Chains A and B, each alone.
Chain A
Amino acid sequence: QQKVQQSPESLSVPEGGMASLNCTSSDRNFQYFWWYRQHSGEGPKALMSIFSDGDKKEGRFTAHLNKASLHVSLHIRDSQPSDSALYFCAASEGRGSALGRLHFGAGTQLIVIP
């Protein structure tokens, strides 16, 4: 059973709109989260990490973490066609050498419609 679940599987938003992606961990030990983005034909690239409760903003991207529910979300403001990609949520235990041992969700395919 996958320890990190993402929803929705696929999401379409108009250019300039807001995209909201969700992720939940079923393992209480996984409290450190990353968002990765993969464009077609490329490897995933790290977007941002979030380790503390609350919001973290980087440009048009805002991540929100609720540690009590182990739920993390990613919100993309003013979505651009170049944001169309597969988005992965990844979680780790965060204890010493476990930080780099990421567990990935199945991904959300984002399509931004011009």
Chain B
Amino acid sequence: GGIITQTPKFLIGQEGQKLTLKCQQNFNHDTMYWYRQDSGKGLRLIYYSITENDLQKGDLSEGYDASREKKSSFSLTVTSAQKNEMAVFLCASSRTVNTGQLYFGEGSKLTVL
């Protein structure tokens, strides 16, 4: 088995601030994903990385940057936090991009004051 670790678990920011979320996986999976979860809207894909050094935009990439530092880690940066924004950011990994079986972390909850 393996585990996805997301840090921090809770993040409070100010409007306009740049905020970074980190994700580590020890599955030795090739592919990693960042999703945003809003109440009533399901999960929306922000960025994904097929392999180390690869970066692909999802449906919601505007306002975010991502970085795949090494095979086991994938970071997401909110480039300018929006006032009253509240969402959960979920990191996931899969053995390859050719499977829909994703393994998710517990999420990082963002609140912008």
Asked whether B105 lies within 8 Å of A43 as measured between CB atoms, the reply is: yes
> B90 in the interface, Cβ–Cβ < 8 Å?
yes
Binary per-residue interface labels of chain A (33-58) against chain B in the complex, 1 for a CB within 8 Å, 0 otherwise: 01000000111111001000000000
> B112 in the interface, Cβ–Cβ < 8 Å?
no
Contacts of A104 in B (CB 8 A): 35, 42-44
B44-92 residues with Cβ-Cβ distance < 8 A to A are 44-45, 48, 50, 58-59, 90, 92
> A82 in the interface, Cβ–Cβ < 8 Å?
no
CA of A16 to CA of B40, assembled, Å: 28
CA of A58 to CA of B84, assembled, Å: 42
Asked whether B98 lies within 8 Å of A97 as measured between CB atoms, the reply is: yes
> A59 in the interface, Cβ–Cβ < 8 Å?
no
A90 contact from B59, B100, B106, Cβ within 8 A = B100
B interface size (C-beta, 8 A):
29
Asked whether B42 lies within 8 Å of A2 as measured between CB atoms, the reply is: yes
**Closest partner residue, chain B, to A105 (CB atom):** B42
B96 contact from A100, A102, A103, A106, Cβ within 8 A = A100
**Closest partner residue, chain A, to B94 (CB atom):** A100
> A28 in the interface, Cβ–Cβ < 8 Å?
no
Question: With A43-B4, A49-B100, A88-B42 as given contacts, are A101 and B105 in contact (CB-CB < 8 Å)?
Answer: no
14 contacts between A and B (CB under 8 A): A34-B100, A43-B104, A43-B107, A44-B104, A46-B100, A46-B101, A97-B50, A99-B97, A100-B102, A101-B97, A102-B100, A102-B102, A104-B35, A107-B42
